[in-house]
Structures are given as structure tokens and as C-alpha cells.
Amino acid sequence: MTVDSYLFDDETLISPQVQSCLPQNYSIRPLGSRDYDRGHLQVLGVLTDIGHHSPQDWLDQFYYMKKRNDTYFSLVIIDHASDRVVAVGTLLMERKFVHCNGKVGHIEDIAVANDQQGKKLGLRMIEALQYIGARNGCYKVILDCAVKNVPFYEKCGFVQKESQMAWYV
Ligand code: ACO
């Protein structure tokens, strides 16, 4: 059997506090090269349309991100009893000239499997991404979300600022 390779290998970026707060048999780790088979896309499908990926399409994207592993920090929560992905989330690191070559973390693509919601997995995922942002020296971490999810993000420590604008091609 092939062994997982991970999007990034720096274990110090995984919050020990978050790990210790997860339910028994659950763990949080970087996205792995075999997570397609563990249902990574099915969990993302809770959030939005994911399109149709062959296993190779998925791996192409995984290795694109892995080559840029100082930019893409995708995490998964795994239920080891079923060996399934139950929650996903990404922190994208943006480097800027402002704030003296500052860094901003963008939280993207947060989703918890339908039958796993309400167990604080979403909260733990956000805490884990905030931890990565802080460890990487981000001066802020931001995200866009639906109005109905504002109370969830407020519970994660976020405050509402400004407005989101979108332009669709
Ligand atoms: N409205 C109000 N409160 C909420 C909501 C909500 N929509 N969702 C969770 N909460 C509260 C919970 O009640 C809990 O409160 P408590 O601490 O007082 O008990 C707290 O927030 C933490 O909730 P969790 O159990 O961690 O939430 P869950 O694991 O269900 O994850 C999430 C929340 C991620 C929104 C999940 O419901 C989900 O996957 N939804 C569908 C996909 C989605 O909308 N993702 C977010 C997209 S935005 C982005 O990606 C940047």
C-alpha cells in the first residue's frame, strides 16, 4: 500500500491544544495524498459544487499546492474509527509590501461533514488555522462568509469589518 505524503511536513504548525480538544479517535493533520479516498471532496461538497475530479485531477491539484507549501496550508480532521475525512479547511498565506513585508492569512473552504456538525469540529478547524497564521507571523487572518455563518465566526473570535465585493467572470 502507498504511504501518505502530506501537503506540509512542519509538525510545529499543528496546534497541540486543538489536537487535545478533539473527540477520541479524531486527529487533525495536513491534507494527505490519499485523502481523495478518505472522502475529502465529499466533505468539501457540503460547502459548494466541487465539479468532477478523477483521482489524477485531485492529485494534480494536491501536488501543485505541495510545491507551494509556504502558501497553501490545508488541514483535515480524520475520524480514525472510519478512516474518513470529517472536516476540512485552508489557510492561504499572502505576502504583502505593506506593514513592512507583512503577511495576511486568508481562511478558505471550511466544511464539516453533515453528520459531524455540532461537535465543535468547525471551531477546532478555525482555531488550528488561526494557530498556523500566528506561527507564520500573519498580522491578521481574514475570511468571507455567508451572513448565516457570521455567529459561528464570531464564536471563533472574528469581528465583522468592511464589505466583501465580488466580480464573476
Ligand atoms: N449560526 C450560529 N451559530 C453557529 C452556526 C451558525 N450557522 N454554526 C455553528 N454555530 C455555533 C455552535 O452552536 C457552537 O456554539 P457553542 O460553542 O455556543 O455551542 C459554535 O458555533 C461552534 O460550532 P461547531 O460545532 O464548531 O460548528 P460545526 O462543526 O457544525 O461547523 C460550519 C460549523 C463549518 C459552519 C458547518 O456547519 C459547515 O460545514 N457548514 C456548511 C459549509 C459552510 O457553510 N462552511 C463555511 C463557509 S465560509 C468559509 O469557508 C470561509
pLDDT digits (tens, 9 = 90+) for 47-75: 999 999 999 999 999 999 999 999 999 99
pLDDT in the model for residue 1 = 63
pLDDT digits (tens, 9 = 90+) for 73-87: 999 999 999 999 999
Minimal-distance CA residue to ligand 1 atom 7: 149
152 lines ligand 1 (CB under 6 A): yes
149 lines ligand 1 (CB under 6 A): yes
Beta bridge partners of 84: 79
Q: Is the pLDDT of residue 155 over 70?
A: yes
Task: Give 37's Cβ-side CA count (13 Å radius).
Answer: 8
Q: Report the distance separating Cα 6 and Cα 86, nearest Å.
A: 17
Confidence of residue 3 (pLDDT cuts 50, 70, 90): confident
- Provide long-range contacts, Cβ within 8 A and 24+ apart, for 61-69: 62/7, 62/31, 62/33, 65/7, 65/31, 66/5, 66/7, 66/8, 69/7, 69/8
Q: Percent of the chain, pLDDT > 70?
A: 99
Q: Give residue 2's pLDDT band: very low, low, confident or very high (50, 70, 90).
A: confident
pTM (whole model) above 0.90? yes
ipTM of this complex > 0.90? yes
Q: What is the mean pLDDT of residues 116-141?
A: 98
What CA–CA distances, in Å, run from 127 to 18, 62, 73, 89, 106?
Answer: 7, 23, 13, 11, 13
Average per-residue pLDDT for the chain: 97
pLDDT value, residue 103: 98
The Cα–Cα gap between 67 and 48 comes to 26
Tell whether ligand 1 has an atom less than 6 A from the beta carbon of residue 154: no
Q: Compute, in angstroms, the gap from residue 32 CA to the centroid of ligand 1.
A: 24
Mutate to test the pocket of ligand 1, among 112, 114, 126, 145 (most ligand atoms within 8 A of CB): 112
All 3 cell numbers of residue 152?
459561528
CA 149 to ligand 1 center in whole angstroms: 7
Q: Is 93 in the pocket of ligand 1 (CB under 6 A)?
A: no
Nearest-atom index, ligand 1, CA of 151? 2
Cα 119 to middle of ligand 1, angstroms:
9
How far is the centre of ligand 1, averaged over its atoms, from the C-alpha of 156 (Å)?
9
User: With a 6 A CB cut-off, is 106 part of the ligand 1 pocket?
Assistant: no
Question: What are φ and ψ of residue 110, in 5° steps?
Answer: -90, 130
